[in-house]
Amino acid sequence: MYARILVTVDGSSTSNLALQHACGLARDQKAKLHIVHVVDEVNINVETPAELSAFRETARQAGLKILEEAKAAAGKAGIDAETKLLEIETFGHRVADTVLREARAWSADIIVLGTHGRRGLHHALLGSVAEGIVRISSLPVLLIRGK
């Protein structure tokens, strides 16, 4: 049913649960697994170009570490996954759009991601990447709720 599974990770315990579910699904379906992490370089507030450059490099390195750890976890689960760091460098692009573009480009059959379960004012102010993906995706989306 699913030959190509894309999972998003951010290093949180909820995204780690999503990765576990994606690995189980990939194993059951004998599917390929594509792990992505998004670095949003636009929504930061710094004083100087030097600070921006330092932030970008720090964010990239942190993202690469998250992907490396996710690939190792998939490997322990018996899944040979591929990883990709996605970067938002243009104002107006959203994480949800970036994930969906990658899912289409990679020909994913399903997207797996964690939801942090925010409610009320906190949700209204921060929004939700998971909600954004569900609203605009033409692909099936499996949401894994945090504990």
The confidence score (pLDDT) of residue 127 equals 53
Q: What is the pTM of this model?
A: 0.87
pLDDT above 70: residue 126: no
pLDDT of residue 3: 98
Mean pLDDT of 30-44: 86
The secondary structure of the chain, three-state, reads CCCEEEEECCCCHHHHHHHHHHHHHHHHHCCEEEEEEEEECCCCCCCCHHHHHHHHHHHHHHHHHHHHHHHHHHHHCCCCCEEEEEEECCCCCCHHHHHHHHHHHCCCCEEEEEECCCCHHHHHHHCCHHHHHHHHCCCCEEEEECC
Span 119-140, mean pLDDT? 72
Q: Kindly report, residue by residue over 66-124, the tens digit of the pLDDT.
A: 999 999 999 999 999 999 999 987 666 788 999 999 999 999 999 999 987 544 444 44
**What's residue 63's pLDDT?**
95
Torsion-angle region of 30 (φ positive above 0: left; ψ -120 to 50: alpha; else: beta)? left
Mean pLDDT of all residues belonging to the chain: 87
* Average pLDDT of the residues in 112-141: 74
pLDDT at 81: 98
Q: Residue 129: its pLDDT value, please?
A: 85
Instruction: Specify the pLDDT at position 47.
Output: 62
Give the chain's domains with CATH numbers: 4-145 (3.40.50.620)
Q: What is the mean pLDDT of residues 139-143?
A: 96
